Amino acid sequence: MDVRLGNGFDVHAFCEGDHLWLCGVKLPHGRGLLGHSDADVGMHALTDAIYGALALGDIGRHFPPSDPQWKGAASHIFLAHAIEQARARGFALGNADVTLICERPKIGPHAEAMRAALAGIMGVDLDRISVKATTSESLGFTGREEGIAAIATATLVKP
């Protein structure tokens, strides 16, 4: 059995707005997230974890921010591409674990919807996908609510 492990990390800054996208779920919020795409920081971290497990670089290599066709893009395009790369090489997703780091919005009430959204995009069972959150105890840029950070881990398995 060939088992691969990848990690991903991403940050997006808050900007003016009334909603944001996190792990495929649109949340009403007093601010938005700044980014070339829809700025779904959790999905970007997960996408990079899958690329990392495959040693295929990062999201910017496959979807360059300099390319205007990805402006405002829905991030499920990126995640679907990453999992397609895995399947094309004979790998299945073992599990994925995403941690969102922010003071607000509160993630807990939305975590199940986020798990379902990610599982749906990747075509895997819900019990393989974890979404959780932590604050940084009011410290640093996440603590000052200047932006949201996310880390993700993914395992890929080839029988």
Residues that bind Mg ion (CB under 5 A): 10, 44
Collapsing DSSP to helix, strand or coil, 36 comes out as: coil
Between residues 61 and 88, which has the closer beta carbon with respect to Mg ion? 61
CA-closest candidate to residue 105, choices 145, 141, 55, 71: 145
Between residues 9 and 134, which has the closer beta carbon with respect to Mg ion? 9
What residues contact 43, with CB distance under 8 A and at least 6 apart?
21, 23, 24, 75, 76, 78, 79, 118
Between residues 91 and 153, which has the closer beta carbon with respect to Mg ion? 153
Residue facing Mg ion at closest CB distance: 44
Q: How far is the CB of 97 from Mg ion (least distance, A)?
A: 18
Q: How far is the CB of 10 from Mg ion (least distance, A)?
A: 4
Between residues 27 and 157, which has the closer beta carbon with respect to Mg ion? 27
What residues contact 18, with CB distance under 8 A and at least 6 apart?
28, 29, 30, 32
